[in-house]
């Protein structure tokens, strides 16, 4: 027998249907929002991961990028130093040698450029060898920042002259080799401040003045060896060696010296050897020099 529904029943059924429909739509919306939220979080995590990888290993990065050094970000060194922009301003031969030394010391990576070098990096260089680089000019700032340098080799670069302040700041320098640089003159203060200098070689130079400034070696109390062989010297100032209490050896071989100031070696208590061979001393002058030098000193004529 068919069921006949009155108006109230139909209204009740319609309300149930609408309630079910509304509940279904609301659930779908909430699920969609949840999916969208999860998607945004995944994107955010992915971005953070990429950023982290970029900092630790990407190009130009702190540990493996081109133009960088291990453990270093692009603005500072691991030791807290700031970038020394002067490195890139140095003459090409010096800049290249500095980068080579730092790579050999594993201070910077192969492929790194001058922009990455810090002042702390430069202080780690103890020896700089610039021999036979065909350098014709050394600007004043050539060795700026190399305060840890102990040995500097410059020989066989014909420059003619050097700036008076070229060695400023190299107070730890112990040895300079300036053999055969075509020096026609040397400024009085060239060696000023090199209080750790032990060995100085400046042989085979065409010095036009035929002498050296009297103050040339002032303040170098640690100096032990001086090589002025074949430097066209014709005379020496009386006070040239004053204050060199550690000086053991002087090489004046093959110059044009005819006489020496009386007592020029008197203050050199550590002196062991003087080479005066192939000069123009008379026999009388040789005898006078012998009489002033201790018998413990090897004196060569």
Question: pLDDT per residue over 229-244, tens digit each?
Answer: 999 999 999 999 999 9
Query: Residue 118 has what DSSP assignment?
Result: B
How high is the pLDDT of residue 22? 65
How high is the pLDDT of residue 4? 59
Structure tokens at 78: 């691991």
- Please check the confidence at residue 87 and state whether its pLDDT lies above 50: yes
Q: Give the pTM.
A: 0.72
Which of 57-61, 183-187, 204-208, 231-235 is the least confident region? 57-61
How high is the pLDDT of residue 37? 43
Structure tokens at 238: 């009386």
Q: Which residues of 109-130 are buried (b: 16+ CB within 10 A; e: fewer)?
A: beebebebbbbbbbbebeebeb
Cα distances (angstroms) measured from residue 267 to each of 49, 196, 246: 72, 20, 10
Q: Where does the chain have alpha helices with state H?
A: 7-57, 86-89, 92-104, 119-122, 283-292
pLDDT above 90: percentage of residues in the chain? 71
How high is the pLDDT of residue 92? 96
pLDDT above 70: percentage of residues in the chain? 75
Give the number of other Cβ atoms within 10 Å of residue 253's Cβ.
17
pLDDT, one tens digit per residue, over 210-223 is 999 999 999 999 99
Q: What does the DSSP assignment read for 137-156?
A: ---TTTTTT-TT--EEE--S
- Average pLDDT of the segment spanning 178-196: 97
- Average pLDDT of the segment spanning 132-156: 96
- Average pLDDT of the segment spanning 73-87: 45
- Please check the confidence at residue 21 and state whether its pLDDT lies above 60: yes
- Average pLDDT of the segment spanning 58-67: 34
Q: Tell me if residue 166 falls in helix, strand or coil.
A: coil
How high is the pLDDT of residue 280? 97
Residues paired with 199 in a beta bridge: 175, 225
pLDDT, one tens digit per residue, over 286-295 is 999 999 999 9
- Please check the confidence at residue 260 and state whether its pLDDT lies above 90: yes
- Long-range contacts: 139-142, Cβ < 8 Å, 24+? 139/91, 139/163, 140/165, 140/166, 140/168, 141/86, 141/89, 141/90, 142/90, 142/91, 142/94, 142/166
The confidence band for 58, taking pLDDT boundaries of 50, 70 and 90, is very low
Question: What mean pLDDT, rounded, does the chain reach?
Answer: 83
Q: Which residues neighbour 102 within 8 Å (Cβ) at sequence distance 6 or greater?
A: 108, 112, 117, 121, 124, 125
Give the Cα separation of 228 and 137 in Å (integer): 22
- Please check the confidence at residue 246 and state whether its pLDDT lies above 70: yes
Structure tokens at 41: 């979080």
Domains of the chain: 64-125 (no CATH), 126-301 (3.80.10.10)
The confidence band for 55, taking pLDDT boundaries of 50, 70 and 90, is very low
* Cβ proximity of 68 and 113 under 8 Å: no
How high is the pLDDT of residue 198? 98
Burial class, 94, CB count within 10 angstroms (exposed 0-12 / middle 13-18 / buried 19+): buried
- Average pLDDT of the segment spanning 19-31: 58
- Average pLDDT of the segment spanning 90-112: 96
Give the Cα separation of 43 and 254 in Å (integer): 80
How high is the pLDDT of residue 63? 32
**Residue in 97, 126, 130, 100 with CA at minimum distance from that of residue 112:** 100
Structure tokens at 97: 């040698």
Q: What does the DSSP assignment read for 228-268?
A: -TTS------TTTTTT-TT--EEE--S-------TTTTTT-
């Amino acid at each position: 027998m068919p069921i006949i529904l009155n108006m109230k029943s139909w209204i009740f059924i319609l309300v149930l249907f609408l309630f079910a429909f509304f509940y279904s739509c609301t659930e779908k919306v909430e699920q969609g929002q949840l999916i969208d939220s999860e998607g945004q979080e995944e994107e955010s995590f992915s971005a953070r991961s990429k950023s982290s990888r970029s900092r630790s290993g990407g190009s130009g990065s702190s540990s493996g990028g081109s133009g960088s050094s291990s453990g270093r970000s692009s603005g500072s060194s691991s030791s807290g130093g700031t970038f020394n922009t002067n490195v890139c301003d140095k003459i090409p031969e010096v800049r290249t040698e500095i980068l080579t030394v730092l790579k050999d010391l594993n201070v910077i990576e192969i492929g790194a450029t001058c922009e990455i070098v810090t002042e702390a990096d430069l202080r780690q260089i103890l020896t700089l060898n610039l021999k036979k680089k065909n350098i014709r000019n050394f600007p004043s700032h050539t060795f700026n920042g190399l305060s840890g340098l102990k040995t500097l080799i410059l020989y066989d670069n014909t420059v003619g002259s050097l700036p008076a302040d070229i060695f400023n700041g190299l107070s730890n320098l112990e040895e300079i080799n300036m053999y055969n640089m075509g020096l026609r003159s040397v400024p009085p203060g060239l060696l000023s401040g090199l209080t750790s200098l032990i060995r100085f070689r400046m042989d085979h130079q065409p010095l036009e003045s035929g002498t050296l400034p009297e103050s040339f070696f002032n303040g170098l109390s640690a100096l032990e060896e001086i090589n002025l062989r074949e430097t066209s010297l014709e005379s020496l100032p009386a006070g040239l060696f004053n204050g060199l209490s550690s000086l053991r050896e002087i090489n004046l071989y093959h110059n044009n010296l005819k006489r020496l100031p009386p007592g020029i070696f008197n203050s050199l208590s550590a002196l062991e050897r003087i080479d005066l061979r192939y000069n123009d001393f008379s026999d009388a002058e040789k005898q006078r020099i012998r009489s002033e030098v201790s018998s413990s000193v090897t004196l060569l004529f």
